[in-house]
Chain A
Amino acid sequence: MNRENPKNNGLDPKKNKGPMGMGHGPMSLMKGDKAKNFSGTMKKLAEYLGNYKVGTSIAILLAFLSTVFTIFGPKILGDTTTKVFQGAMSQMAGTDAGFDYSGIRNGILLALGLYLFSAALSFIQGWIMTGIAVDITYRLRKDISEKVNRLPLRYFDRVSHGEVLSRITNDVDTVNQTLSQSMAQIINSVVTVFGVLIMMFIISWQLTLIALLMIPLSLVLVQAIVKNSQKYFRQQQDTLGHVNGHIEEMFAGHTEVKAFNQESASISDFRQMNNTLYASAWKSQFLSGIIMPSMFFIGNLGYVAVVVFGGWLALRRLVQVGDIQAFVQYIRSFTQPITQLANISNVLQQTAAAAERVFEFLGEEEEIPESINPMAMPRATGKVEFSKVSFGYDPQKRIIHSFSDSILPGERVAIVGPTGAGKTTIVKLLMRYYDVDDGSIKIDDVDIRNLSRTDLRRQFAMVLQDTWLFNGTIFENIRYGDANATEEDVIRASKAAHADHFIRALPNGYNMVLNEETSNISTGQKQLLTIARAFLVNPPMLILDEATSSVDTHTEILIQKAMLDLMKNRTSFIIAHRLSTIRDADKILVMDEGNIVEQGTHEELLSRNGFYAGLYNSQFAVMR
């Protein structure tokens, strides 16, 4: 029904991440993705986490403890090394102090215990956090899927399906990653930085001061690189967008490119863009690639400084040999958390942006709530009355002005008009996909707004030319209209729709599974299936959208017959393209540019010699 404003249904390939979900590595430099309301979004995310207060608190505590325990490791190992060193010295010096084996063993066992304990804590922390993150991911996806069904269709006029899909996969995934990994990482990094600092101060304040020089140095360096590379990153993203856009267009329009001999022009355009992309790509890759070596370099500088200065101090018996070793290990474990901390704001920004898109979607205004005391409507007779209906998709721009008409049970209403005239609008109003701005629509004298949507829609069956079937068996697809239908009901409906015959000829018959693109049966057969679906529902009113697309003659005749049978004794609204249908209708609504410009029977309208007459005559004017 939406064919008049085509939508991009595919996922945006540019937004797709790899299958492994390596969303944001430690070096993600892609900024640009900023949340509009960072703190507000984070607060909402925290609320979601709030449902797991106990788990989250335990996880945070465990991450903290696990890091603390690891931090003691090098110090203990260093002391043990000192004991080995002293043992060796005493041996050389020939004193009989000898090797303090029990001390060495105790030190090692203590360190081993600490490491093991810390690993266990970290594992439990991860176990809890992944559980929570996965649970939240599940809930967010579920919330989104339910939200989709509560949104007014108006919403989908401005948001493409691709966007919704991207929220449900990519954005939710980003949130999941942050919760399951980045949170522990952040705690770990912060605790490590402070814990290591404290340990270093305990060992030797002199060495610590030297080591501390690294921090501003590395922060400045990383910031400088990040800042520089961002420019190229943006450039790279932009040009990549252009190149991919060009590829998309040229491949999609392959036939045209060939038919109009535009291959060489297209290739030369492409080469130009591709070269620009190359230039920005290697620059941005290079700059982001040198962060690691640079941090490594600073780490090495620290290492050298500690070893040399430590050696110098050791000579003066101000530090122990084992302390130097411990320091070396501390410095090595220092660089990583600093890099991570430098990147945290990026990660958080990305998460906030993703979470914001999700929450924004969940917070969208929903369909106007049902009336509080809906009137029950078991089965309507099919009398429909429009009184002074006004409507516009854009509230500022009314397209239907004060339309009135009444339709008796069993009448056929043909809606006609040129392409793009908005022929589906009336139908959308009738089924309350949209609400009228003014006036009212009544079925059996009841304003449809006083009915529950379920009750209202139960009065209709729809057969659209964009047949909608899903990946499932033919049986399931027909039964879609009425979940309680028995096998006999389904077969009876298929027979009425002249579909039984071809279904039985298919491999597996009613149990044949339609593939994901539902391309394993023909267009005409699909239409027969949707007609069978309508027969099964057996409603008092019908909405038909006559097919213009190519269907072979035999099936075409079956469809026509089936539709005629279906229309018997039902009030029918037909978006008509076929002249015979139009002529046989009890009433014709003529639409142009969204508005209903004329209404009446074929003869009445012809004799009026207006828009409809023009439309009708133009069809044969040339022929004569």
Chain B
Amino acid sequence: MIKLFPFIRKYYLMIALVIVLLFIQAMADLTLPDYLAKIVNYGIQPLEAQQSAGSVTVESQSNLVLNTGLMMLVLTLVSVTAAISVGLLSARVAAGVARDLRDSVFTRVLDFSSGEISQFSSASLITRATNDVTQLQTVTQMIMRMVFYAPIIGIGGFIKALNTAPSLLWVIILMAVIVLGVIISAFAIVLPKYKIIQQLLDKLNLVMRENLNGLFVVRAFNQQKHEEARFDQANKDLTKTTLFVSRVMVFLMPLMMFLMSATSLVVVWAGAQHVEAGQLQVGDMMAFMQYTMQIFMAFMFMAMMFFIIPRASVSAERIAEVLNTTPLINDPVNPRKFSDKSRARVEFRDVSFHYPDAEEDVLHNVSFTAEAGKTTAFIGTTGSGKSTVVSLIPRFYDLTKGEILINGVNIKDVNRSDLRDMIGYIPQKSNLFTGTIRSNLLFGDNEASEETILKASEIAQAADFINTAEEGLEMSISQGGGNVSGGQRQRLAIARALVKKAPILIFDDSFSALDFRTDAALRAALKDQLSGSTIFLVSQRVSTIKNSDQIIVLNEGKIIGKGTHSELLETNEIYRDIALSQLTPEELK
């Protein structure tokens, strides 16, 4: 939690003000019982005791009572004003801290390279930027309003009590010890169980999610009963622990209420004796009783800390983790520029690479040159590193040895944005964003003309279904592109990259969601329309890459073959194996 302290620094003044206001509120609240004592001690008592003496009258005493009442009213107003101001300030601080945290997490994550993203997983980053931040907002506010207030009113009440009736102080100490003992032991029992409950709930969710994901299989194998039994087991475990925790809490509440009432009784009992001994005024005893109640409430508030702090610190920890992770890939201090932005010759020189948290290299001394306007394809088994090779070009990852040159310039010497301006990239699983087809295509280049958009969708074989859609380019796209099919999504992603009109195009296994017919038509269109582009193709399908200018066969991170389809068929055994498993001998030609 301490790691997030800098975020609060900005609000030091407001927080200091909150503490002052809370102090004023506490003092006002604590002074109220004094006036009760005053009314009893100097208002009612003298009259009762000395009526015979005749020095005080009902009228004079009534005035005293009313004047005292006026003071109480003023105090009440002071208290509520302070409380509302605290509410205002703490709301602004909490919402402000949340805004700042959200902003920092968001900008930091956008600065991350793919390495950091996969280290956290994007799902986890989303939770951190949303739920965890909201959680901290609630907690910040609660801490300011309750946790700050508790010690102030507790200590204030203690001092007041000390001044009023030092002889009764033991009651407060006894109460404090018992209450603390109860709270601490209850939480010692319950808190670890809460963690277990969360785990059991996760388990319950897991079983249900597995069942839902496998609906077809479960029914195909007639295993409904088995699934129900698995769920029942998880359900029973959860129920048992929940019941235990609920019952501890059920025990706690009446116990605390009882302790609070019992304290008043002890005050009256012990107080009566002091009153008889003439050491204590009745009004003071009554005021003392109110102080003990205030102190008791302070303890209850502090008990909430036991609940709040562990929850908050988990969230804080998770956010701090993100903020403490610095992106590995940064812009150079003195960036160079590309002189020719229309053509691109890409050269890999002795490139080796391992993932940030891995020890072993996934690429070993990879060298090749992709001439401008030519198509280079990569094929190989899973884990051979073919997707990794192309992900190094836009610097999603940084190579660990060797260098990559575009038109003779090392890609590490240019700004990332300049580098990426040269590249149109289509990932294996592409994402679309909420908006329209048009807004998604413009994502490639905000200033693209209508003509460019139409041309790009034509080449990407997306024009057909855009035209059949009622709203055409204005057809709305839901989050992640959930309302279009996988193939359509892929075609839009390709069109989006083409809108960019970049000299380099990278297709990272992006044809796999397309059927053969679309795949073929797309490749034909690419060949016709984009002959000037340097194209990188990653694929499992031999038919997709077969006509490339250069095919690179990768195995375990090493280049084991380089050449055209027909060359490789002759010379490369692995390539031949792959080809044979997919095509018949006559199709190989």
Question: Looking across the interface, which residue of chain B has its beta carbon closest to that of A101?
Answer: B272
A82-90, A389-397, A565-573 - the one binding chain B: A82-90
**Given contact pairs A258-B396, A293-B84, A457-B221, A282 touches B94 in the complex (Cβ within 8 A):** yes
Partner among A112, A168, A271 whose Cβ is within 8 Å of the Cβ of B208:
A168
Chain A residues near B546 (CB-CB < 8 A):
623
Please, how many angstroms separate the alpha-carbon atoms of A311 and B65 in the complex? Answer: 6
| A250 touches which of B96, B110, B265 (Cβ 8 Å) | B110
10 A-B interface contacts by CB (under 8 A): A9-B213, A119-B258, A153-B216, A156-B212, A249-B431, A253-B433, A260-B496, A281-B91, A480-B226, A551-B382
Minimum CB–CB distance from B496 to chain A (whole Å) comes to 8
The answer to the question of A92 belonging to the interface, with a C-beta cut-off of 8 Å to chain B, is: yes
Chain A residues whose CB sits within 8 angstroms of the CB of B134 once the complex forms: 240
Complex contacts, A538 vs chain B, CB 8 Å = none
CA distance A576 to B190 in the complex (A): 56
- Tell me the interface secondary structure of chain B in the complex: helix
Which residues from chain A contact B228 at a C-beta distance below 8 Å?
142, 145-146, 149
B246 within 8 A of A: yes
Question: Nearest chain A CB to B239's CB is how many angstroms away?
Answer: 4
Question: In the complex where A250-B110, A274-B102 touch, is A615 in contact with B72 (Cβ < 8 A)?
Answer: no
Determine the chain A residues whose CB is within 8 A of the CB of B235 once the complex forms: 138, 141-142, 145
Tell me the minimal C-beta distance from A191 to chain B in angstroms.
14
Determine the chain A residues whose CB is within 8 A of the CB of B36 once the complex forms. 307, 324, 328
B258 and A116 contacting across the interface, CB-CB below 8 Å: yes
Partner of B282, one of A85, A135, A243: A85
CB-contacts of A71-91 with B (<8 A) = 73, 77, 80-81, 83-85, 87-89, 91
Query: How many Å lie between the Cα of A556 and that of B577 in the bound state?
Result: 11
CB-nearest residue of chain B to A255: B427
- Closest Cβ of chain A to B224, distance in Å, is 4
Are A462 and B79 in touch, CB under 8 angstroms?
Answer: no
Q: Is A4 an interface residue (CB 8 A)?
A: yes
Whether A134 pairs with B243 at a CB distance below 8 angstroms is yes
Using A93-B49, A308-B68, A551-B382 as known contacts, say yes or no to A165 and B208 having CB atoms under 8 A apart.
Answer: yes
Smallest CB–CB gap between A192 and chain B, Å?
12
Q: Which residues in window 280-337 of A have CB below 8 A to B?
A: 281-283, 285-286, 289-290, 292-294, 296-297, 300-301, 303-304, 307-308, 311-312, 314-316, 321, 324-325, 328-329, 332
A553 touching B581, Cβ below 8 Å: yes
Chain B residue with minimal CB distance to A83?
A: B272
Considering the complex, give the chain A residue whose CB is closest to the CB of B67.
A308
Question: What's the Cα separation between A455 and B394 when bound, in Å?
Answer: 55
Contact A270–B106 (Cβ < 8 Å) = yes
What's the minimum C-beta distance from A549 to chain B, rounded to whole angstroms?
7
The segment from B38-46, B340-348, B399-407 that touches chain A is B38-46
Bound together, the chains give a CA A533 to CA B218 distance in angstroms of 12
In the bound complex, do residue B272 and residue A164 qualify as a contact, i.e. CB atoms below 8 Å apart? no
Q: Are A278 and B427 in contact (CB under 8 A)?
A: no
Asked if A130 meets B246 with Cβ closer than 8 Å, knowing A119-B254, A247-B106, A307-B35, the reply is yes
Q: How far is the CB of A26 from chain B (nearest CB, A)?
A: 13
For A160, give the chain B residue with the smallest CB separation.
Answer: B212
The answer to whether A87 touches B431, judged by C-beta atoms less than 8 angstroms apart, is no
Separation in Å of the B360 CB from the closest CB of chain A? Answer: 17
Stretch from B121-129, B160-168, B330-338, B364-372 at the A interface:
B121-129
Residues of B within 8 A of A85 (CB): 40, 45, 48, 282
- Of chain B, the residue at the smallest CB distance from A298 is B80
Task: Tell me, yes or no, whether B141 is within 8 Å of chain A by CB.
Answer: yes
Does B73 touch A at the CB level, under 8 Å?
yes
In A60-115, which residues have CB < 8 Å from any B CB? Answer: 66, 70, 73, 77, 80-81, 83-85, 87-89, 91-93, 99, 101, 104-105, 108, 111-112, 115
Query: Could you tell me if A308 and B311 are in contact, using CB atoms closer than 8 angstroms?
Result: no
Do A13 and B109 touch (CB < 8 A)?
Answer: no
Q: How far is the CA of A547 from the CA of B213 in the complex (A)?
A: 18
Q: Which residues of A contact B35 (CB under 8 A)?
A: 307
A-side contacts of B433, CB under 8 Å:
249, 253, 256
B130 to A281, Cβ gap below 8 A? no
**CA–CA, A572 and B222, complex, Å:** 19
A303 to B69, CA, bound (A): 10
Please report the C-alpha to C-alpha distance between residue A562 and residue B515 in the assembled complex, in whole angstroms. Answer: 25
Check if A123 is an interface residue, CB within 8 A of chain B: yes
By a CB distance below 8 angstroms, the chain B residues around A4 are: 485-486
Residue from the list B127, B218, B272, B307 in contact with A104, Cβ < 8 A: B272
Tell whether A378 is near chain B: CB-to-CB under 8 Å. no
New contact pairs (10) apart from A258-B110, A260-B420, A304-B69, CB-CB < 8 Å? A77-B265, A93-B49, A253-B480, A255-B396, A260-B444, A307-B36, A471-B210, A553-B577, A620-B543, A623-B547
Contact status of A84 and B285, CB under 8 A, knowing A259-B394, A296-B83? yes
- Given A146-B228, A623-B547, check contact A153 B39 (CB 8 Å): no
Q: Does B309 contact A (CB under 8 A)?
A: no
- Known interface pairs A93-B49, A296-B83, A618-B516. Does A308 touch B76 (Cβ–Cβ under 8 Å)? no
Q: Identify the closest chain B residue to A135 (Cβ).
A: B239
Tell whether A148 is near chain B: CB-to-CB under 8 Å. yes
Partner among A14, A115, A300, A481 whose Cβ is within 8 Å of the Cβ of B258: A115
Assess the A112–B126 pair: CB atoms within 8 A.
no
- Check if A112 sits within 8 Å of B265, measured CB to CB: yes
A273 to B198, CA, bound (A): 32
Enumerate chain A residues within 8 angstroms of B99, measured Cβ to Cβ.
Answer: 274-275, 277-278, 281
Q: Are A259 and B198 in contact (CB-based, < 8 A)?
A: no
Chain B residues contacting A11 (CB-CB under 8 Å) are 205
- Interface flags, A454-465, vs B, CB<8A=1, else 0: 100110111010
In the complex, the answer to whether A108 meets B216 with C-beta atoms within 8 Å is: no
Q: Which residues of B contact A32 (CB under 8 A)?
A: none
Check A579 for interface membership: any CB of B closer than 8 A.
Answer: yes
In the complex, what residues of A have CB within 8 A of residue B84's CB?
Answer: 290, 293-294
Is A278 a contact of B247 with CB atoms below 8 Å?
A: no
Q: Which of B4-12, B150-158, B175-183, B517-525 contacts the other chain?
A: B517-525
- Among residues of B, the one whose C-beta sits closest to the C-beta of A19 is B198
Is B141 within 8 A of A134, CB to CB? no
B264 close to chain A: CB less than 8 A: yes
List the 6 shortest-distance A-B pairs measured between CB atoms, nearest first.
A308-B69, A126-B250, A293-B83, A552-B381, A282-B95, A253-B431
Which of A81, A119, A464, A580 sits near B216, CB closer than 8 Å?
A464
**A253: which B residues are within 8 A, CB to CB?**
431, 433, 480
B87, B96, B246: the one within 8 Å of A180 (CB):
B246
Q: How far is the CB of B377 from chain A (nearest CB, A)?
A: 14
Residue pair A256, B430 in contact (C-beta under 8 Å): yes
Q: Do A141 and B421 contact each other (CB < 8 Å), given the known contacts A552-B382, A622-B547? A: no
B216 & A1 in contact (Cβ 8 Å cutoff) = yes
- Measured between C-beta atoms, what is the minimum distance from A595 to chain B in Å? 16
Chain A residue contacts of B66, Cβ below 8 A: 308, 312
Whether the Cβ atoms of B516 and A615 lie closer than 8 Å is yes
B425: nearest residue on chain A (CB-CB)?
A259
Inter-subunit contact A261/B421 (CB<8 Å) = yes
Shortest Cβ distance from B453 into chain A, in angstroms? 14
- The answer, yes or no, to whether B169 is at the interface (CB within 8 Å) is no
Confirm or deny: B359 has a beta carbon within 8 angstroms of a beta carbon on chain A.
no
Bound together, the chains give a CA A556 to CA B382 distance in angstroms of: 10
Per-position binary interface string of chain A over residues 186-213, scored 1 when its CB falls under 8 Å from any chain B CB and 0 otherwise: 0000000000000000000000000000
Q: Min CB distance, B222 to chain A, in Å?
A: 5
| A373 beta carbon closer than 8 Å to chain B | no
Residue A470 at the chain B interface, CB threshold 8 Å: yes
Q: B559 in the interface, Cβ–Cβ < 8 Å?
A: no
Residues from chain B with Cβ under 8 Å of A301 in the complex: 73, 76
Contact: B141 with A321, CB < 8 Å? no
Flag whether A483 is at the interface (Cβ < 8 A): yes
What sequence of 0s and 1s flags, for each residue 480-519 of chain B, a beta carbon within 8 Å of any chain A beta carbon? 1010011110000000110010000000010011111111
Q: How far is the CA of A294 from the CA of B496 in the complex (A)?
A: 56
B130 contact set on A, CB distance < 8 A = 13-14, 243-244, 247-248
| A311/B382 in contact, CB under 8 A | no
* A277 cross-chain contacts in B, Cβ below 8 A: 99
